[in-house]
Structure 1
């Protein structure tokens, strides 16, 4: 008996990539460019990897370059495939400027700095770390916190497992199944993701007032294709505000409806509370 796997629809794949927002495109292009450069310059990995004992005032750039480098094409493709959908969702919720600022700054520096401190002063080791998987688990933890607020636990065989712990389970499974993965690096990314999801480090993002002024002054929405502005965000930085149309439609306080902006459905909202952080 012959078995055949359905081939992926090329039109849907093409449609997915043509709809990617700007910051996601830029970061994916950076990952690809560094992979191509690494293929021609093998020493690039040594130059940009996060090597704890090599971090000093002259090599602080390593705290931002290590997520852009990958060991081989399998490592690159695996991370890129996992990262793009998560990054697209993050940009839709936070805007293009915020996404670019965070992923070229604090979201590399914070987990990288934490990793360096733990390796140098706690574990007394010098294990190098590279790869965008630190961003993957950071974003998974952001999503896990949002899921936890809506659905605090998963019931499996009578055991209630907190939904915020699911990325940690994935981290340990990958560590045991895939050799040479950095358990500590992934956990450092997870810590930063949890801090962002809980709102503890939301101050790292510029205020919406400043962002609106910059966008209006430079007319970014009109000049840049696929740009996500502050006012176009799908859910808003701190969650969807209640929809006044909920009660008008006869939906009571305990039930949800679809919120809308300019006639476009933007997600499920309750009539008395907002979703998200």
Structure 2
């Protein structure tokens, strides 16, 4: 049994890393009492306040243990994509690259849904709806596999259902098990999954995806330093009047109202 699990971990390195990352982020969030509002994705903060880093943090974060367990177990079942290294649409590199596409663009599509509903159709409650969880990426993978000839999908090892039905069956099942789950967030993953399967993102190289991710990470670090949640040596953020600055005799780089200054 242990050997079998270890063999699967070695065959699915990216899936194993992502699953571990999701668990680590969950334990960090719960141990620091961080809530939906601080890491989640909603239109007001992501678009109106330009906190686009939330596209990444929201999907890597889980506030409820049941939500995390549901996503990780489903993610592990989808890791079969990694086990076949032959062909252009299989293997660890393809899995990693496609997962990045799903993560970034499902967040953007979700924001587009909120824009249409909240701004265009003036249903303002959608401007403050907050989503968290890796579900959009998972639903995207279900959709891709349903278009790639995979016949069936195992649901927690209890039953197999036709792959073409999996995204929509899971959408209903998730809404029942986790009532607060975001329908539009999951639907965004399905939409981007169909886009990936149709080849729309074939032009997008791994270099560009990593660049987008790096810029998002940089924005997140900037926000954490600015809010005081992260301390960086020789870097301080102070208001324009200098309040809060401490003289230590050590040259520092300060960010004063968004402008870098060296002292």
Same-fold call, TM cutoff 0.5: yes
Write the distance in 2 (CA, Å) between the matches of 1:163 and 1:80. Answer: 19
Correspondence for 1:32 among 1, 12, 23: 23
Q: Please give the secondary structure, in 2, of the residue aligned with 1:203.
A: coil
Q: How many residues align?
A: 186
Superposition deviation, residue 11 in structure 1: 4.1
Number of the residue aligned with 2:168:
168
Correspondence for 1:115 among 103, 110, 114: 110
Do the aligned residues in 2 keep the contact of 1:63 with 1:112 (CA within 8 Å)?
yes
Write the distance in 2 (CA, Å) between the matches of 1:134 and 1:190. Answer: 7
Number of the residue aligned with 1:231:
none
Do the aligned residues in 2 keep the contact of 1:91 with 1:99 (CA within 8 Å)?
no
- CA distances 1:235-276 after superposition (whole Å, capped 9, x unpaired): xxxxxxxxxxxxxxxxxxxxxxxxxxxxxxxxxxxxxxxxxx
Correspondence for 1:86 among 78, 102, 106: 78
Write the distance in 1 (CA, Å) between the matches of 2:186 and 2:95. Answer: 20
Say whether 1:103 aligns with 2:99.
Answer: yes
Number of the residue aligned with 1:187:
187
- CA distances 1:79-133 after superposition (whole Å, capped 9, x unpaired): 11111231341574444444434434x3222111111121233243121111111
Number of the residue aligned with 2:197:
197
Superposition deviation, residue 32 in structure 1: 1.8
Do the aligned residues in 1 keep the contact of 2:175 with 2:183 (CA within 8 Å)?
yes
- CA distances 1:147-181 after superposition (whole Å, capped 9, x unpaired): 38x89xxxxxxxxxx96344223312432443111
Report the TM-score when normalising by structure 2. Answer: 0.61
Number of the residue aligned with 1:64:
56
Task: Tell me how large the CA RMSD over aligned residues is.
Answer: 2.8
| Runs (5+) with no aligned partner, structure 1 | 1-8, 152-161, 208-277
Write the distance in 1 (CA, Å) between the matches of 2:68 and 2:50. Answer: 27
Do the aligned residues in 2 keep the contact of 1:21 with 1:91 (CA within 8 Å)?
yes
